[in-house]
Chains A and B, each alone.
Chain A
Amino acid sequence: NAGVTQTPKFQVLKTGQSMTLQCAQDMNHNSMYWYRQDPGMGLRLIYYSASEGTTDKGEVPNGYNVSRLNKREFSLRLESAAPSQTSVYFCASRPQGAGNTIYFGEGSWLTVV
């Protein structure tokens, strides 16, 4: 049982390059989330998708776009990467009607030089 799977796990980008972080969950969860965590800091919500076909901004959406491709997949795109976007990115998902318990992936380490 894979749970929440993120790819890639590590990536180095040059300033101005674009890339997409992929997230897939195999638990049939309705809601999905993207967080970032800067070194030594807490988690900040970037975007979330309450259900398939919907997306909403979180605390720090600037510089990112998301796509809820289907129920399983929720991607995060950086159109023009900046050094300030160097961070660990976590994807998470939540089942319908299960309170507020969310399940996290293992993270994607992104460095922008």
Chain B
Amino acid sequence: DAKTTQPTSMDCAEGRAANLPCNHSTISGNEYVYWYRQIHSQGPQYIIHGLKNNETNEMASLIITEDRKSSTLILPHATLRDTAVYYCNRWASGTYKYIFGTGTRLKVLA
């Protein structure tokens, strides 16, 4: 099964950018990088995804290295409500078997 590596936990000051790294050094050409987050014990929520190019939406930005071996999720102005576990996943187009990574527990500090 596809694996990613993330730091177990990170802290970020409120108002600052939170940069969450993810290593996926063995990613295949047809695999996308997907980020989800889980606040408290709620169901996980989709944030953003990308294949090669950097992506931005209203929630976050995703920076993927040129060799696609790693990526960074950026929350530009972290708030206390961004405290959550962030999951980086690599899933191939057309797959159905969604295995989640172990995630990074982000704590935003006041």
A: residues with CB less than 8 A from B are 4, 31, 33, 35, 37, 42-45, 48, 50, 56, 58-59, 88, 90, 92, 94, 99-107
Between-chain CB contacts (< 8 Å), 9 pairs: A4-B43, A31-B96, A42-B100, A42-B102, A56-B96, A99-B32, A100-B34, A104-B44, A106-B42
Report the tally of A-B residue pairs with Cβ distances under 8 A: 61
B68 interfacial contact with A, CB 8 Å: no
Whether the pair A45, B103 counts as a contact (CB closer than 8 A) is: no
Q: How far is the CB of A110 from chain B (nearest CB, A)?
A: 13
- Are B1's CB and A104's CB within 8 A? no
Q: How far is the CA of A102 from the CA of B32 in the complex (A)?
A: 14
Is B101 part of the binding interface, using a Cβ–Cβ cutoff of 8 Å? yes
Between A43, A48, A94, A103, the greatest number of chain B beta carbons within 10 A of the residue's beta carbon is seen for A43
Closest residue on chain B to residue A51 by CB atoms:
B96
- Does more than half of chain B's interface fall in helix, strand or loop, or is it mixed? loop
Q: Which residues of A contact B43 (CB under 8 A)?
A: 4, 90, 92, 104-107
Q: Which residues of B contact A58 (CB under 8 A)?
A: 97, 99
Most chain-B CB neighbours within 10 Å: which of A31, A58, A104, A106? A104
CA–CA, A99 to B103, complex, Å?
A: 21
Cα distance, A42 to B98, chains bound together (Å): 13
- Most chain A beta-carbon contacts within 10 A, residue among B32, B43, B87, B100: B43
Contact partners of B96 in chain A: CB under 8 A: 31, 48, 50, 56, 94
When C-beta atoms are compared, the residue in chain B nearest to A88 turns out to be B41
By the criterion CB–CB under 8 Å, are A56 and B42 in contact? no
Choose among B1, B38, B98 the residue with the greatest number of A CB atoms under 10 Å from its CB: B98
